[in-house]
Amino acid sequence: MTKNEDTLPDHLGWRLWLANRQWQARFVEAMRGAGHDWFTDARANLLGHIARSGTPQSVVIARMGTSKQAVQQLIDGLQGEGILERVADPKDSRSRIVRHTAAGLRAMRDADRIKREIEAEYRSLLGTEAFEVLMLALRTMTEEAKGVE
């Protein structure tokens, strides 16, 4: 039997991407179901780069790996929704810190709860032992990749 050259391989990258896309879709749907109609994939990605205590806007831009203008548009939109705010950086008057408003912090508490719920579903699906093995493997892979970022 010869291998069909047009068949795409079933590889780790594909499975990680697919699992991530499915997790992200469930997360966004649950956040919107929790009353956060402003929540989208792009906004979720941005919020993942902002510490609860705030992050310099320049750091957010570097972490996102996209254009300064695109990041600023996302921040502007969330600022307009009352989720984020920009404040002066006390260490550098030319810099701005992006941080969550009270409404943003409430949304992040909902996000934490929803993430735990999704994780519990995965734990139930895989079984506790397999889930812990998966988490250990992913931690190992991401710790190794820290220097690559």
7 within a domain of the structure (yes/no): no
Domain that holds residue 129: 13-148
33 within a domain of the structure (yes/no): yes
Distance CA 143, CA 82 (A): 34
2 within a domain of the structure (yes/no): no
Distance CA 2, CA 7 (A): 11
What predicted TM-score, i.e. pTM, was given to this entire model? 0.83
User: Among 29, 17, 34, which Cα is nearest to 108's?
Assistant: 34
Distance CA 146, CA 129 (A): 26
8 within a domain of the structure (yes/no): no
Helix (H) or strand (E) holding 98: strand 92-100
Distance CA 46, CA 48 (A): 5
For the four alpha carbons of 86, 76, 64 and 109, in that order, the dihedral sign comes to positive
41 within a domain of the structure (yes/no): yes
The CATH number covering residue 141 comes to 1.10.10.10
- pLDDT per residue as tens digits for the range 46-104: 999 999 999 999 999 999 999 999 999 999 999 999 999 999 998 888 899 999 999 99
Strand pairing report for 84-89 and 55-56: unpaired
Residue with tokens 């548009």: 73
Residue with tokens 């250990």: 136
Residue with tokens 């991407």: 17
- pLDDT band of residue 148 (cuts 50, 70, 90) is very low
pLDDT confidence of residue 149: 44
109 within a domain of the structure (yes/no): yes
- pLDDT per residue as tens digits for the range 40-60: 999 999 999 999 999 999 999
18 within a domain of the structure (yes/no): yes
The number of domains in the chain is 1
pLDDT confidence of residue 93: 84
30 within a domain of the structure (yes/no): yes
Distance CA 79, CA 105 (A): 13
